[in-house]
Structure 1
Amino acid sequence: MTRTVEEHQQAVLGLLRYSSAFGDGQAEQLPLTAARGRVLAKDLVAPVSLPPFDNSQMDGYAVHRENLVQSGEPLRLTVTQPVPAGAVPAPLQPGQAAPIMTGAMLPEGAAAVVPIERANPPQFPSAEQYRNSSFRVDLPSVEDGLFVRRAGSDLSAGDVALRAGTVLGPAQLGLIAACGLATVAVRPRFQVLLLTTGDEVQDPGTDPEPGKIYDANSTLLQAALEEAGVLVQRHSVFADRPEELRRALQSISRPVNLILSTGGISQGAYEVVRQALTDSSVEFLSVAMQPGGPQAIGTINGIPFLGFPGNPVSALVSFEMFLRPALGTVTGIPGTRISLPARLTEDVQSPESKHQVRRGIYTDRSGQGEGIGDVALLGGPGSHLMHALAGSNALVHFPVGTGALEAGDLVAVWLLGEPRAGVQPFHPSNPNREALT
């Protein structure tokens, strides 16, 4: 069976949406310091107003409402005791001006603040002048509310401060702290059990053995999953023993929301995942995509299961094309990559029957007065080219039916990292670029 990329994207989204049991009304209470990047579980109602009281927007003089004039005549007022931030001031009387600091509570009776630089003299009294209590200040005429932050002008107590589903970044956490709350209710993290299979795979950090390769997939996918806000449980590499893998898979239970494996799902003689799940509901199919054509999807003990190909580039492309966007929809953590048009820097041939995804370097040309950037392909279409993948900052898309393209043609790119700013495209250390293609 062969699916289009769009059909498999919808299948993965449906699997996670209806079978992962993610959320189920659960929430956990976290201190604000641990809640960055998490998703708000329910509407947050402000327990206090912001600001909680009328306060001064400037360092200056608080003026009584009876001294507000519209005639343009200056005011000569007696200076009373200063109001520092954090103090509860005495009421202000008509004819008085209170030196007030930014953020300080406005005295009762005050209706406006004149900035210190508009006063005559343009500085606060000295300690000795305060003591003799006869210091006068000349102020320009002012209107009601000048440089006053009214209580509740930002947010009123009882209003919804943040809606459920909001991703909590620095600004949102700062707002919660300003409301006086030290903890916040967030949705639980989506949990993935990550499995890698293959007799040929060994763990990094061990001595290399003949005929074996180091496990890149577990680190690659764990980093990608965690970047998407997922909590990852990582299993040691499974050897090509179907019965052992079948028993391990059947023993898995909640709270895992997804089982994700790499390798062992193609048509070879030693495809351990395919053999282990022969009699299960898991479907093994082909997607019209290169790399990442072989895919597996289904449930094990009611838990969603996805199987990605074993080649590292195929595994990451599968994650970016199918799992990342589905996770974003289900968890509420944005999962869509920035998509931009770009001009090819070379001629390209793509199989018309498949959606080909290549790696490349996207260079931003906007600083040079151009609205569209360039993309240079990095490495060939092979699914084993890790060095080229590590040097890339974009995935380059050639949809079904593309065929041949020429340098200068427009393609869609997904940014994986920061675009280069009008510099020459970087290629891995091999100076002969043709060797990478």
Structure 2
Amino acid sequence: MKQNLTLEAALEIVLEQAKPLEEVEQLPLTAAYGGVLGADLLSKVSHPDTDDTAVDGYACRAADSQGAGVGNPVRLKVVGQSPAGKPFAGGIGPGEAVQVFTGAPLPKGADAVIRVEDTLREGDFVWLMKPASSTDIRHKGDDLVMGQVYLRKGDFLTPGRVGLAAAMGYDRLPVIRRPRVGVLATGDEVVEPGRPLPYGGVYNSNSYSVAGLVEEAGAEAVLLPKLADDVERLRLQLQQTGPLDLLVTTGGVSMGEYDIVRQLLEREGEILFWKVRIQPGGPLLFATWNGLPLMGLPGNPVSAMVTFLLFGRPFIFKRLGRNDPPYHRLQALAESAFEANPTRQAYRRAILRWEGGGFRAVSTGNQSSAVLRSMAVGNALVVLEAGRSARVGDVVEVIPFPGSAGCWR
């Protein structure tokens, strides 16, 4: 068993166990949002499929509109109309124009368009107050070319990408099966919300914060019943758990008499590493139990969330084969001091905002790993190397939380 690893060394071991999933589901477009594409997609159509107009106005021959101006308007005969979906069937000859609407195919013989606001209609004629041009013509294939790949395996399916797939002609998409991640809180003192809280008890926040992070990362959270500090009951729970791609536990991974997760894995599993040189989250444990990857997060609420973001989220991203990184690192100006840990890399909660052309970070206050409200108020982690505190005005490295400014999706 490896101990006291750097974040980089520990993450490498975690990712070795994250084998990409091969199962692909064919989902309708409305069910594909937030999924990961399971195959390259080539466009079934060109878009536009012919030259069309980007504005409402009149299509004509550019040569017929030369020299037009407010003091010298040019008159053209309007020979037809071309709304989107009902293209003009004829062609345009010298001195003629066709009224066109946005998205309408360009009539045969036309090579220019003038916007309606630069014209004056008079019966069957239109006066042009400026020369027509090709600027407002969208040429065939400007957006999509039939047979070209525009979405690739591993792409996260944002609304824009689902919309693009629809524009390419797809009504169903191949989507990687979501990994099933079990979430299990342990501890005699842990009580489910809504029940009376006994003396010395604490409500189970870990299951719900971690499950939310699991879902946000693109996996399916399987919330397991909270477990008391009993090794035999933990074994039974694991035996009865259905198929999972990862089991995440909170609590029970330190060195105490009641740290049941570590005790069971020492006897029956394979602990790949225990303890990482980070704060918060140092007691993190990663193991396998009967072939199931198990990530033992510390019990303190902040430690559980931070370690999942740093290790659980990358595990899920790799299993899904996502093309984008699980988190980004950016630079921000510190507007408050951030205290380092003398021997471990520290992750301090901060409020990140964009101001004056750059990111700025201010501390959420108390940095105790038991102060969960710092994860609710804050939207980023400031990364400090061991022994290197940050003063006001220093440039610091920051990891934004999912969904926040500069987010990593």
TM-score by length of 1: 0.81
1:335-346 mapped onto 2 (5 Å cutoff): 335-343=326-334, 345-346=336-337
The equivalent of 2:78 in structure 1 is 79
> Using the alignment, how far apart are the partners of 2:263 and 2:36 within structure 1?
39
Of 388, 393, 403 in structure 1, the residue corresponding to residue 379 of structure 2 is: 393
The structural deviation recorded for 1:329 is: 4.2
Q: Secondary structure at the match of 1:33?
A: helix
Q: Say if 1:71 and 1:55 are closer, same or farther in 2 by CA, change over 3 A.
A: closer
Q: Say if 1:365 and 1:107 are closer, same or farther in 2 by CA, change over 3 A.
A: closer
Q: Secondary structure at the match of 2:82?
A: coil
The equivalent of 1:181 in structure 2 is 170
The equivalent of 1:216 in structure 2 is 205
1:77-156 mapped onto 2 (5 Å cutoff): 77-95=76-94, 96-119=96-119, 122-123=120-121, 129=123, 135-139=124-128, 145=134, 147-156=136-145
Task: Report Cα offsets for 1:329-353 as digits up to 9, x if no partner.
Answer: 44315420443233362473x4322
The equivalent of 1:246 in structure 2 is 235
Q: Say if 1:373 and 1:88 are closer, same or farther in 2 by CA, change over 3 A.
A: closer
Q: Secondary structure at the match of 2:333?
A: strand
Of 56, 60, 68 in structure 1, the residue corresponding to residue 63 of structure 2 is: 68
Task: Report Cα offsets for 1:270-316 as digits up to 9, x if no partner.
Answer: 11112222222134622122221112212222221111111111111
The equivalent of 1:428 in structure 2 is none
The structural deviation recorded for 1:33 is: 2.0
> Using the alignment, how far apart are the partners of 1:243 and 1:202 within structure 2?
20
> Using the alignment, how far apart are the partners of 1:14 and 1:61 within structure 2?
62
Q: Say if 1:412 and 1:111 are closer, same or farther in 2 by CA, change over 3 A.
A: closer
> Using the alignment, how far apart are the partners of 1:387 and 1:93 within structure 2?
69
The equivalent of 1:23 in structure 2 is 21
Tell me if structure 2 keeps the 8 A contact 1:92–1:108.
Answer: yes
Tell me if structure 2 keeps the 8 A contact 1:344–1:411.
Answer: no
Of 346, 351, 369 in structure 2, the residue corresponding to residue 356 of structure 1 is: 346
The equivalent of 2:360 in structure 1 is 373
How many residues end up aligned between the 2 structures? 394
> Using the alignment, how far apart are the partners of 1:188 and 1:69 within structure 2?
59
Q: Say if 1:304 and 1:101 are closer, same or farther in 2 by CA, change over 3 A.
A: same
Tell me if structure 1 keeps the 8 A contact 2:78–2:98.
Answer: yes
Of 298, 304, 307 in structure 2, the residue corresponding to residue 315 of structure 1 is: 304
Q: Secondary structure at the match of 1:412?
A: strand
Percent identical residues: 37
Larger-gyration structure (1/2): 1
The equivalent of 2:261 in structure 1 is 273
Q: Secondary structure at the match of 1:68?
A: helix
> Using the alignment, how far apart are the partners of 2:48 and 2:58 within structure 1?
20
Q: Say if 1:115 and 1:410 are closer, same or farther in 2 by CA, change over 3 A.
A: closer
Task: Report Cα offsets for 1:54-97 as digits up to 9, x if no partner.
Answer: 2222222222x5x8359648764432232222113221242432
Letter aligned with residue 323 of structure 1:
G
The structural deviation recorded for 1:374 is: 4.4
Task: Report Cα offsets for 1:353-407 as digits up to 9, x if no partner.
Answer: 222223233455526xxx5634235104x321223333323323332243x6655
Q: Secondary structure at the match of 2:316?
A: helix
The equivalent of 1:293 in structure 2 is 282
Q: Secondary structure at the match of 2:284?
A: strand
Q: Secondary structure at the match of 1:34?
A: helix
The equivalent of 2:291 in structure 1 is 302
Q: Say if 1:264 and 1:91 are closer, same or farther in 2 by CA, change over 3 A.
A: same
Q: Judge which range, 162-171 or 104-113, deviates more.
A: 104-113
The equivalent of 1:431 in structure 2 is none
The structural deviation recorded for 1:213 is: 1.5
Letter aligned with residue 362 of structure 2:
V
The structural deviation recorded for 1:47 is: 0.8
The equivalent of 1:423 in structure 2 is none
The structural deviation recorded for 1:232 is: 0.6
Consecutive unaligned residues in structure 1, runs of 5 or more: 130-134, 420-437
Tell me if structure 2 keeps the 8 A contact 1:49–1:152.
Answer: yes
Of 190, 193, 196 in structure 1, the residue corresponding to residue 185 of structure 2 is: 196
Q: Say if 1:313 and 1:106 are closer, same or farther in 2 by CA, change over 3 A.
A: same
> Using the alignment, how far apart are the partners of 2:371 and 2:192 within structure 1?
19
Task: Report Cα offsets for 1:201-257 as digits up to 9, x if no partner.
Answer: 111111222332111100110111212122111101012221221133234453x21
Letter aligned with residue 316 of structure 2:
L
C-alpha RMSD over aligned residues: 2.8
The equivalent of 1:435 in structure 2 is none
Consecutive unaligned residues in structure 2, runs of 5 or more: none
Task: Report Cα offsets for 1:147-192 as digits up to 9, x if no partner.
Answer: 3222222211111122222222222222222233222222222221
Q: Say if 1:410 and 1:177 are closer, same or farther in 2 by CA, change over 3 A.
A: closer
Q: Secondary structure at the match of 2:164?
A: helix
